[in-house]
Structure 1
């Protein structure tokens, strides 16, 4: 299946490039929609060694929007506020296509010299969902996964799709969710968290009071803290280790 893709929006590291964050937007958005957040995360100069990659989803028909074409990482059949709606009739082919794309982006970073354990994959809504799925099914151990207002894709068969051995069983998965989300229901985020926890994954969940399907300053600060923890600056450590 051939899909036309635009090249991602890139924010080069402001110091020596030692780490990469791939952050994925939600349905109907583009990578540009999260450029302000990236600037926010970089404002305190704690992530100077981090390159940010903001991919753009291909334009595809979205069933729940009467088949209108818009940027999407996979099709959604129903979006009616029911916590089970997103888990029914999932677009497995579209999900797997996006998984392959993100695995390709990770491989490109590895080929350029960035170790997998210095790469974080994350995103919002659809982007967060495909980040959890792509990250936990990756064949490299990543530094972390950050998922905002998201859920576990293909949950009924997820364990069958994880490679063996599992490279990311212990990789920190930080989930963030509004407690008043009418789109990706809070209950679905909580259910996904519980399912991953029950399967032994290193997952956390933080809820934000009175927040709907959006992001708030506190949440963005928490994501920055997670990125800083998972991708600490190396300074001259690599050069010294190579001497």
Structure 2
């Protein structure tokens, strides 16, 4: 064998090894996609005791929340996950046929993603054992997920603020009395009807769920300056410890 033949064989061998490595690292067929997220801290403390999980609406990105959480004015670790599927100018959380499904199937979609978000919260808490309080919030599909986290994983969530949410599913167990859910809703929302939300909240209250709702006249499926101010005020109080208020 001459030097040229040996070089060719060596190159082919290296290419084969590279291809084998790529195949071994490929995700298993049918495996859930990895949940991408951003995390950062706000306020003076580098190890805040509060965690805020913010969940964007369909077609948006985690960056949507940055200007809003910056104005909270309290020490908090922010975790901003990103939806799995590209959609419009951002990402969405659920399969392309989500809106064509019935209520039980929609609920299953939301439960599935909420389970992955719950795993992410556990991972963050393991990495940051100083965290003592956890709040989750989101708008539209993000609100559906914030609510589902509160009712399916109450051991992980102290406060939930779903906005423009369908409030799918019922609690699988009693929510802690120390927990709190506040729903924000536009009164002329063409997608999530305000009366539907009021009726749903009253039925949940009747079975002991610590939940309330605040609606905004003239507001559709959106967030107004007043809603955002109320959102900040509520979360600021909920995330601060007793000695910080």
> What TM-score, normalized to structure 1?
0.76
- Contact kept in structure 1, 2:94 and 2:110, CA below 8 Å: yes
Cα distance, 1:69 vs structure 2: 11
Secondary structure in structure 2 of the residue aligned to 1:12: strand
Among 29, 32, 50, the residue aligned to 1:19: 50
Cα distance, 1:182 vs structure 2: 0.9
Q: Note closer, same or farther for the CA distance 1:102–1:148 as it changes in structure 2 (3 Å cut).
A: same
Query: Where in structure 2 are the equivalents of 1:43-54 lying within 5 Å?
Result: 45=73, 47=74, 49-54=75-80
- Contact kept in structure 2, 1:130 and 1:153, CA below 8 Å: no
- Contact kept in structure 2, 1:18 and 1:234, CA below 8 Å: no
- Contact kept in structure 1, 2:42 and 2:70, CA below 8 Å: no
Secondary structure in structure 2 of the residue aligned to 1:153: coil
Distance 1:141 1:151 in 2: 21
Partner of 1:122: 137
Cα distance, 1:7 vs structure 2: 2.5
Higher-Rg structure is: 2
- Contact kept in structure 2, 1:122 and 1:128, CA below 8 Å: yes
Partner of 1:228: 236
Q: Deviations over 1:12-42 (max 9, x none)?
A: 133221111001111222212222222233x
Q: Deviations over 1:145-198 (max 9, x none)?
A: 1111112113xxx24xx14xx343551101001101012222332233122212
Secondary structure in structure 1 of the residue aligned to 2:42: coil
Secondary structure in structure 2 of the residue aligned to 1:9: strand
Distance 2:202 2:86 in 1: 31
Listed as ranges, the gaps of 5+ residues in structure 1 are: 62-67, 79-85, 237-243
Cα distance, 1:88 vs structure 2: 3.2
- Contact kept in structure 1, 2:175 and 2:209, CA below 8 Å: no
Report how many aligned residue pairs link the two structures.
210
Deviant stretches of 4+, over 4 Å: 233-236
- Contact kept in structure 2, 1:22 and 1:121, CA below 8 Å: yes
Among 57, 63, 72, the residue aligned to 2:83: 57
Question: What's the RMSD between the two structures over aligned residues?
Answer: 2.7
Partner of 1:205: 213
Among 115, 129, 141, the residue aligned to 1:113: 129
> What TM-score, normalized to structure 2?
0.75
